[in-house]
């Protein structure tokens, strides 16, 4: 597996597929030629990366819309106190907040020990497009103030607990399941792929869900193996 590698050009030929890949750690590019390609990155990249994208793929992508999200990881010196109501859960939804709430990122640690933890706060930018644009450009300090104010409602001690805040703005975070996108002909074009290319991203389903990502990945792998004449035990 090649990590820190960015595919910036894909050229589909009749017999093989050529991918130009930038290797960030080595600051150089290589060309990888393969018989088959499984594209597991988001579909909105196709017009930017594919040298000659098929018209039906472009038509499929044209109708797609993506929801931007802001995600913040807060490192805390200890877990926030729980007051009235339920104890701290894995997924904590805040009442009357524009954000989705937060998850406790250390919840899968086998043994619970009091001490430092990380919580992950999420907010979809559901504002109208002009104001959404402004919000995406909003600086880190403004976001940090807003996030701490949001979390301070259930956890007034949050500012004292937070030792670090990492904020990420994802402009194309999740594909929206718009009417006509889930069973339409547009989706079918990316569902099957063409020639020696298959698509495996959850975007193919039109739904941003882990289960869809898994399903698409398995399906693309099985179809590719079948094209290569490799037998496999179907898991679907
Ligand atoms: C804030 C947020 C919260 C979510 N919460 C949930 C949840 O609770 N439950 C749930 O089921 N789903 C959730 N999702 C959706 C879930 O994360 C996605 O559906 C899932 O990650 C899609 O998996 P994937 O493998 O198809 O693609 P991705 O996870 O998008 O992976 C694509 C990969 O391709 C890489 N890539 C992109 N471009 C290139 C390139 N040019 N060259 C090389 N590599 C490239 C990316 O770096 C990435 O690693 C959430 C999503 C977000 C943004």
Domain boundaries, the chain: 5-65+176-228, 66-174
List pLDDT tens digits, range 142-161: 999 999 999 999 999 999 99
Mean pLDDT of the 178-192 span: 78
Rounded (10°) CA dihedral 153, 159, 163, 169: 50
Binding-site residues, ligand 1, Cβ < 6 A: 6-7, 40-42, 45, 49, 69, 71, 122, 170, 173-174, 201-202, 208-210, 213
Q: Which two tokens stand for residue 163?
A: 């030792």
Q: Decide if pLDDT at 115 tops 90.
A: no
At 173 the pLDDT is 92
Q: Return the CATH architecture of domain 66-174.
A: Alpha-Beta Complex (3.90)
Beta strands of the chain (E only): which ranges? Answer: 5-12, 17-23, 28-34, 37-39, 66-76, 91-92, 101-104, 117-124, 162-175, 197-199
CATH number of 5-65+176-228: 3.50.50.60
Within 8 A by CB and 6+ apart from 165, the residues are 72, 73, 74, 75, 144, 147, 148
At 112 the pLDDT is 67
At 182 the pLDDT is 82
pLDDT band at 113 (very low <50, low <70, confident <90, very high): confident
pLDDT band at 218 (very low <50, low <70, confident <90, very high): very high
Pocket test for ligand 1, best of 6, 19, 44, 213 (most atoms within 8 A of CB): 213
At 187 the pLDDT is 74
Distance 37 CA to ligand 1 centre (A): 19
H helices present in the chain, as ranges? 46-49, 55-62, 129-137, 140-152, 158-161, 185-192, 210-228
- Which residue is closest in CA terms to ligand 1's atom 34? 41
Mean pLDDT of the 34-39 span: 97
b or e along 151-186 (b: 16 or more beta carbons within 10 Å of the residue's beta carbon)?
beebbeebeebbeebebebeebbbbeeeeebeeeeb
pLDDT band at 192 (very low <50, low <70, confident <90, very high): confident
Mean pLDDT of the 85-105 span: 90
At 38 the pLDDT is 98
Check: CB of residue 10 under 8 Å from CB of residue 19. Answer: yes
Please indicate whether the domains covering 5-65+176-228 and 66-174 agree at the CATH topology level. no
Average pLDDT over the chain, rounded to whole? 90
Its pTM stands at: 0.89
């Amino acid at each position: 597996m090649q990590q820190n590698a960015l595919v910036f050009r894909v050229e589909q030929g009749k017999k093989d597929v050529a991918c130009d890949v930038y290797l960030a750690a080595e600051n150089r590019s290589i060309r990888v030629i393969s018989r088959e390609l499984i594209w597991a990155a988001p579909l909105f990249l196709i017009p930017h990366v594919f040298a000659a994208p098929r018209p039906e793929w472009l038509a499929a992508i044209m109708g797609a819309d993506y929801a931007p999200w802001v995600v913040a990881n807060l490192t805390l010196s200890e877990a926030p106190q729980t007051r009235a109501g339920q104890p701290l859960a894995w997924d904590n939804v805040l009442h009357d907040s524009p954000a989705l709430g937060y998850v406790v990122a250390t919840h899968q640690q086998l043994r619970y020990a009091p001490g430092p933890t990380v919580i992950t706060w999420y907010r979809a930018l559901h504002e109208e497009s002009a104001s959404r644009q402004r919000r995406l450009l909003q600086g880190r300090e403004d976001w940090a103030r807003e996030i701490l104010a949001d979390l301070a409602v259930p956890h007034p001690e949050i500012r004292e607990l937070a030792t670090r805040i990492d904020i990420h703005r994802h402009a194309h975070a999740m594909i929206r399941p718009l009417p006509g996108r889930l069973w339409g002909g547009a989706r079918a074009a990316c569902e099957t792929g063409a020639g020696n290319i298959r698509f495996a991203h959850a975007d193919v389903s039109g739904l941003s869900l882990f289960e869809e990502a898994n399903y698409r990945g398995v399906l693309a792998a099985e179809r590719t193996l079948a094209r290569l004449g490799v037998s496999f035990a179907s898991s679907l």
